[in-house]
Chain A
Amino acid sequence: MTVWPAIWLTLKLAFVTTAILLAVALPLAWWLTTTRSKVRPVVEAITTLPLVLPPTVLGFYLLILMSPTAPFGALWLSVTGDTLTFSFTGLVIASLVYSLPFAVQPLQTAFASVPRPTMDAARTLGATPRDAFLTIALPLARRGFLTAGVLTFAHTVGEFGVVLMVGGNIPGRTRVISIEIFTAVETLDYATAHLLSLGLLVFSFCVLMLVYVFNRRGGVRVA
């Protein structure tokens, strides 16, 4: 039994998810940091929901949403000619929802630590809001960007419940590492289970250490 298709699929899923999520989370996190809108708590709660919901709940609703009989799933089917459930695209969509808080929250924290007066200074020096965001807020929040990317990636690599609900267990298509481990244990193939589990453990540890080392090295800036 080769484990490589599962590893490859997992990495592909994590990369695609991370890339899309960072692009989505960046404006969302900036909006959450700066807005005075009354709907902000609502948006914040929705963004954080995947953090507290059991993956099965999330997966269940996503499955319903993606099913060819639901409006979204039907629309997808008519546009692409393919169903979302039990497909790689479906996994990506599910991962985007599942990992959203891990991309938004580090960015939001980083943006919140960009001092408002520093942004004001940029404005008085002739920078448009967009210009000030790109040249001041973004560089000052770069560590948050890194943390968000790493955590999103790692979290997507480790997801299990949502994938099982939405993608099932199709080798090479939806069978990611965590499901491969589950399958291996079910079939009493402990050698494979050990190999993959240890791999994930070491990987997760290294990723977290990387994040902490980076955040420590930058230090807390004293104004």
Chain B
Amino acid sequence: MPDRLHFRLKLKRGRLFTLDVEESLPLQGVTAITGPSGSGKTSLLRALAGLDLDVSGERRVSFCNADWDGPGGHLPAHERRIGFVFQDPNLFPHLSVAGNIGYGAKRRQVTSFDAIVDALDLGPLLDRGIEGLSGGEARRVGLARALASNPAVLFLDEPMTGLDSQRKSEFLPYIARAVSQARVPALYVSHASDEIVTLADRVLELGAGHITGWRTAPMRLNAHVVAETSPGVEVRLDGADADGPGASIPLALRALPGEAIGIGLPVESVHFSLHHPGAGSAIMVLPVTVTRPAGARGQAVIDVLGQSVTVPGVVRVPNATTLWMSILRVLPRPMAGDSRT
């Protein structure tokens, strides 16, 4: 049973907007918080981090059974041990890259400074000032700074806002690697579905200051790296035969042999058919069995090579039907080393 972050907040921000939410999140893996602009995602993160304590309202927050906000008062922001990655990196302009990363590390006992710098490829930048950094570099420094402060939980508030799509696809693997290596739970605010499919283990949805509910978690298949190729790796789905479907999938990803990889499947790039579709543009075609047909909520559970996957309401066929699943696009990420045995 993972620890939980429980919150009940009722905060009036301005005349028109009230954040009124109550939920309990498991502190494990990545919880995505999504919703349209102005739905209160950022307000929620800031309130949880204790950054808006001057906003009047009702707040109860407990983290791992310790009260952050409660009848006994409020824990100040600097004692909450949150690694906050902001939309804008908010780097300290008068400090070097190393000074920025070391700011939190100096204030909390941290030993993993070098590992973080290496993982984010920041070694060559350490002595530079932050003014000449590119957008992507600045984001990496912001991420490294949050990780180096030895956080108990990571808050990422749309950390890719403002990057072009090329920079986004460069930065996303760093985030994926960071959340899996840091082995701390993360709250990830975003409305970009690719980021959510890549990273999220569960998805909470906000609308107009309220929680509208949990969305179906992104589909994800577990795999392990079997070989390194020159630009990336080849992975094998867990449960796949050495010469069967899913035995060797090429991915443009930096990973080590034997490393666990989660392969996120965007909903629109997964097709089901009763008969094998034959040769085509799909990355892979896998035989699957429906173990629980789509119910009232429109979710079916299928078995893929022994892995159980929840599929949002596309499969309306009887139990135990065998189908072919064509996968046209995948969004892989390294998984925490301890997430599987």
Contact = CB atoms under 8 A, between A and B. Distances in A.
B68 interface: no
Interface string B127-143: 00001000000000000
B108 interface: yes
A118 interface: yes
A125 B103 CA distance: 7
A140 B93 contact: yes
B90 A123 contact: no
Interface in B63-113: 76-84, 86, 88, 90-94, 103-104, 107-108
Contact of A115 (B54, B76, B90, B107): B90
Interface in A195-223: 221, 223
B251 interface: no
Contact of B77 (A117, A123, A136): A123
Nearest to B105: A125
Contacts of B86: 117, 120-121
A120 to B, nearest CB: 5
A126 B80 CA distance: 8
A38 interface: no
B149 interface: yes
Size category of the binding interface on chain B:
20 to 34
Contacts of B94: 139-140
Contact of B78 (A115, A124, A135, A223): A124
A136 B92 contact: yes
Contacts of B49: 124
A134 B104 CA distance: 15
A223 B54 contact: no
Contacts of B317: none
Contact of B149 (A117, A126, A131): A126
Contacts of B145: 121, 125
A121 B84 CA distance: 7
B92 A124 contact: no
Given A126-B107, A140-B93, A36 B54 contact: yes
A136 B90 CA distance: 12
Interface in A106-159: 115, 117-118, 120-129, 131-132, 135-136, 139-140
Nearest to A117: B90
Residue of B84, B93, B108, B146 contacting most chain A CB atoms (<10 Å): B93
Given A117-B86, A117-B88, A120-B51, A125 B104 contact: yes
B90 A118 contact: yes
Contacts of A223: 88
B238 to A, nearest CB: 37
Interface in B114-166: 131, 145-146, 149, 155
Nearest to A36: B54
Contact of B90 (A121, A126, A127, A128): A121
Contacts of A128: 76, 78
A139 B93 CA distance: 10
A144 to B, nearest CB: 14
Given A121-B86, A124-B83, A127-B78, A221 B93 contact: yes
Contacts of A36: 54
B51 A123 contact: yes
A155 to B, nearest CB: 28
B230 to A, nearest CB: 39
A132 B149 CA distance: 15
B78 A126 contact: yes
B335 to A, nearest CB: 26
30 contacts: A117-B86, A117-B90, A118-B90, A120-B46, A120-B86, A121-B84, A121-B86, A121-B92, A122-B92, A124-B51, A124-B146, A125-B78, A125-B103, A125-B104, A125-B145, A125-B146, A125-B149, A126-B79, A126-B104, A127-B78, A127-B103, A128-B76, A129-B76, A132-B78, A135-B103, A139-B94, A140-B94, A221-B93, A221-B131, A223-B88
The 4 nearest A-B residue pairs measured at CB: A125-B104, A126-B107, A124-B84, A123-B77
Given A124-B82, A124-B83, 19 more contacts: A36-B54, A118-B90, A120-B46, A120-B77, A120-B90, A121-B84, A122-B103, A124-B51, A124-B80, A124-B104, A125-B104, A126-B78, A126-B104, A126-B107, A127-B107, A129-B76, A131-B78, A132-B78, A140-B93
